[in-house]
DNA sequence: TTCCATTCTTGACCTTTGTAAAAAAAAATC
DNA sequence: GATTTTTTTTTACAAAGGTCAAGAATGGAA
């Protein structure tokens, strides 16, 4: 995905505004295993995934809980850093060698005050993320782990191929052993 | 809480912009049991709670799952309606006789295109809701039901006094019977 | 107050999921 | 391609939470 496709998919910007925004975006690559977002840091950048897959997790009582996966076209962000200038909850780790577009948020926040189109881009960006987060919250509350696994299989079959089982089990809120049992059931 | 306190707590608006916004806000009251937001409707208003308490729930397989409580100062909104002009997942019901401020969203969306301060108010509003939703998502993933109950007790002791147990159990993702047992344990 | 309806608690029993450890399979490294 | 290392599956047992049903407590309404 190109950066234009990604930006346009959020909210259509007139060309002058888009150029202003793109001035602060650059392409970066990292290897599998790289930690892009650190739980104990106030992050100053957000990233759009051009190619690759990532997972966000919190570390609680010596085990990691995965609560989000991101792939091509998704935004990698520490919401706490971006919105409240505070340390976030999560580490975000690359699960594959990846290419990303980096946007420095200091510059973005200045543009919010001077360019109404970019302010609305920022509004719609937050709104889209909100809808996605709400969806995850509700689907998590609904149905059994088995149903949620089947749902995930249908919605993101590639995810299950690209990500190891332990992370997916954690995401579904069950243990790897339980997920393995669910998969073993026929029908 | 006054409407000015609520609006200012989201994002500070210059007086002219605030007056523009307030032109579309009016005060309404409803009785306990009133359904403010309907799952099968595209809602055209959002509400700020002046006095009262509400719950949002989805109906799945003949039982209701509560996934949010709102009280004084909170915003009652169908995100799907507001953001995507689509039917939402949830009914939102008043659990007490309540007073609210109603904001018609058609007018709000027009203002986003013409007033940069209001566009930024809308941005920050979505961002605040996003942070809250993310917090709920993560805390739901963390720890056992007992721990989450204790957490809720500490964070919102009034909620537990004002809301009946079944709703709270559903919110925590367990049955009323289990929650009752957790409460019965000493220590 | 008394009665009725709703909400909360308790008990017996059952199902689902977790834990720990080992075996099997797959992937990575030499 | 053989050998490590990592990941997934399987087994046995334990723990947490669910279901059903009955009884106690609470709260309105007449």
A185 touches strand D (CB under 7 A): no
The span from the CA of A169 to the CA of A186, in Å, is: 18
pLDDT (0 to 100) of residue B142: 79
List the single range of A70-79, A139-148, A152-161, B70-79 with lowest mean pLDDT. A139-148
Decide if pLDDT at B151 tops 90.
no
Q: What is the pLDDT of residue B187?
A: 45
A140: left (phi over 0), alpha (psi -120 to 50) or beta: alpha
Residue from A78, A108, A119 to probe the interface with B (highest B Cβ count within 10 Å): A119
Once rounded to an integer, what is the mean pLDDT over residues A151-171?
90
- Token pair, residue A79, equals 């919401």
Per-residue pLDDT reduced to its tens digit, B157-166: 888 889 999 9
Handedness of CA B73, B74, B78, B80 (dihedral sign): positive
pLDDT at B92 over 70: yes
What distance in Å separates the CA atoms of residue A72 and residue A162, rounded to the nearest whole number? 13
Summary mean pLDDT of chain A: 91
Residue A140 has pLDDT above 60, yes or no: yes
Angle at alpha carbon of residue B126, lines to B129 and B114, rounded to 5°: 155
Query: Looking at residues B44-65, what average pLDDT do you find?
Result: 90
Q: Give the span between the Cα atoms of A13 and B187, in whole angstroms.
A: 58
Are B101 and B4 within 8 A, CB to CB?
no
> Virtual CA dihedral for A124, A126, A129, A133, nearest 10 degrees?
-130
* Nearest alpha-carbon partner for A124 in A39, A12, A28, A44: A12
**B78 has pLDDT over 90:** yes
Structure confidence at residue A106 (pLDDT):
92
Whether the CB-CB separation of A90 and A57 falls below 8 Å is answered with yes
B56: pLDDT strictly greater than 60 = yes
What confidence score (pLDDT) does residue A186 get?
A: 55
Of residues B155 and B117, which shows the higher confidence score?
Answer: B117
Q: Which residues contact A156 (CB under 8 A, 6 or more apart)?
A: A69
Helix axes B105-114, A116-141, angle to 10 degrees: 140
Residue A143 contacts strand C, CB under 7 A: no
- As a whole number, mean pLDDT of residues A130-135 equals 94
Give the number of other CB atoms < 10 A from CB of residue B181: 12
Which chain A positions have a beta carbon within 8 Å of B109's beta carbon?
A: none
For residues B67-77, average pLDDT: 93
Instruction: Give the residue-averaged pLDDT of B11-38.
Output: 93
Task: Look at residue B158 in the predicted model and tell me its pLDDT.
Answer: 87
Question: Mutate which of B75, B137, B142 to disrupt the A interface (most A C-beta within 10 Å)?
Answer: B137
Would you call B61 exposed, middle or buried from its count of C-beta atoms within 10 A (0-12, 13-18, 19+)? exposed
> How far is Cα A115 from Cα A44, in angstroms, rounded to an integer?
21
Has residue B90 got a pLDDT over 50?
yes
Residue B70's H or E segment, with its range, is strand B63-71
- What is the model's pLDDT at position A60? 76
Residue environment code for B153-163, b if the CB has 16+ CB neighbours within 10 A, otherwise e: eeeeeebeeeb
* Mean of all residue pLDDT scores within chain B: 91
φ, ψ dihedrals at A107, nearest 5° = -65, -40
Contact present, A37 and A77 (Cβ < 8 Å): yes
Cβ-based interface (< 8 Å): residues of B facing A: 58, 60, 65, 67, 79-80, 83-84, 89, 112-113, 116, 119-120, 122-123, 126-131, 133-134, 136-138, 140-143, 173
Percent with pLDDT over 90 in chain A: 71
């Amino acid at each position: 995905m190109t950066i234009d496709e990604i930006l346009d998919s959020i909210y259509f910007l007139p060309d002058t505004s888009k150029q202003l925004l793109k001035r602060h975006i650059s392409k970066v690559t990292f290897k599998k295993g790289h930690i892009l977002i650190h739980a104990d840091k106030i992050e100053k950048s957000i990233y759009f995934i051009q190619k690759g897959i990532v997972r966000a997790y919190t570390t609680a009582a010596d085990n990691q809980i995965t609560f989000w996966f991101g792939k091509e076209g998704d935004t990698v962000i520490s919401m706490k850093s971006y919105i409240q200038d505070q340390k976030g909850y999560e580490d975000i780790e690359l699960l594959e060698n990846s290419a990303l577009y980096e946007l420095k948020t200091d510059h973005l926040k200045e543009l919010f005050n001077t360019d109404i189109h970019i302010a609305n881009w920022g509004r719609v960006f937050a709104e889209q993320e909100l809808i996605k987060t709400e969806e995850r919250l509700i689907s998590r509350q609904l149905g059994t782990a088995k149903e949620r696994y089947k749902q995930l299989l249908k919605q993101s079959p590639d995810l299950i191929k690209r990500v190891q089982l332990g992370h997916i089990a954690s995401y579904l809120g069950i243990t790897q052993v339980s997920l393995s049992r669910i998969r073993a059931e026929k029908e």
